[in-house]
Amino acid sequence: MKKSAIASLLTVAALAITASSYGQGSVQFQNYNFGATTLNAPVTFGVTATSGGKAGTAGVRVGSEFTADLLYSLDGGTTYSLLTGAQSGSATYPTPFAFGVGADGDAVNFSGYFFGNPVTIPGYSSGPISFIVEAFTGGTSYANATQWRGQSSSFTMPSIATGTAPPSDFAGLTAFTVLPVPEPSIFALAGLGAAGLMAIRRKK
């Protein structure tokens, strides 16, 4: 078989694998779209502070030490589930906020943005689906983050691509901020303050 024919077959095979790899209902897990103006949702620091040794400046985009998580809801936003790496099938999930290289080969500051692989939503067949994006640093999850964290507003997409269609873009996602994670000592002080107020009320 000629080399050109082999090359053509390999190309067709590669396209078939790519097309079938999206799964039933997939989204492009990222907060910026280079080819459109419908998605530009950077993540920034909400205040100027230092939390857990990590300093942040209000309005500045977060860096690559942050992680993005995706939560989805198939019941209209009543309950949300965290999409794990195993479910997404993506070796790069969760997706870190990045510094990258532009089309011209020059370094580009992509801090505040994450660029993930297509993510398949478990159990999805058709209809609307709601999402929330989380960002955090310090700790291994949003729940036990020790430095900064924040969530996007919930947004609903009327439907997402199914079958072998290209993944849908996160057009409904809007920019959001992260805030310092309260330290345990703060909760302890708050508890002592509440206890003091109760004691004063009892004396009265």
For the chain, the residue count is 204
Query: How far is it, in rounded angstroms, from Cα 146 to Cα 180?
Result: 8
Enter the tokens of residue 18: 């790519």
pLDDT at 15: 28
Q: What is the pLDDT of residue 149?
A: 97
What is the pLDDT at residue 21?
A: 54
> Where is 118: in which H helix or E strand?
strand 115-120
Give me 153's structure tokens.
Answer: 């507003």
Q: How much is the pLDDT for 10?
A: 29
Give the model confidence (pLDDT) of 131-181 as tens digits. 999 999 998 899 999 999 999 999 999 998 887 788 888 989 999 999 999
Q: For position 204, what pLDDT does the model report? A: 57
In the chain, where are the structural domains located? Answer: 3-203
Residues 168 and 120 sit within 8 Å (Cβ to Cβ): no
> If residue 51 lies in a helix (H) or strand (E), which one and from where to where?
strand 49-51
For position 90, what pLDDT does the model report?
59
* Residue tagged 């067709």 (tokens): 12
How far apart are alpha carbons 158 and 129 in whole angstroms?
A: 7
Contacts of 125 (CB under 8 A, 6+ apart): 24, 25, 162
pLDDT of residue 17: 31
What are the structure tokens assigned to 193, written together? 């303050």
**In angstroms, rounded to a whole number, what is the distance separating the alpha carbons of residues 156 and 173?**
9
- Give the per-residue pLDDT at 203: 60
Three-state secondary-structure class, residue 67: strand
User: So what's the pLDDT on residue 110?
Assistant: 81
Q: Which residues of the chain have pLDDT under 50?
A: 1-20, 186-192
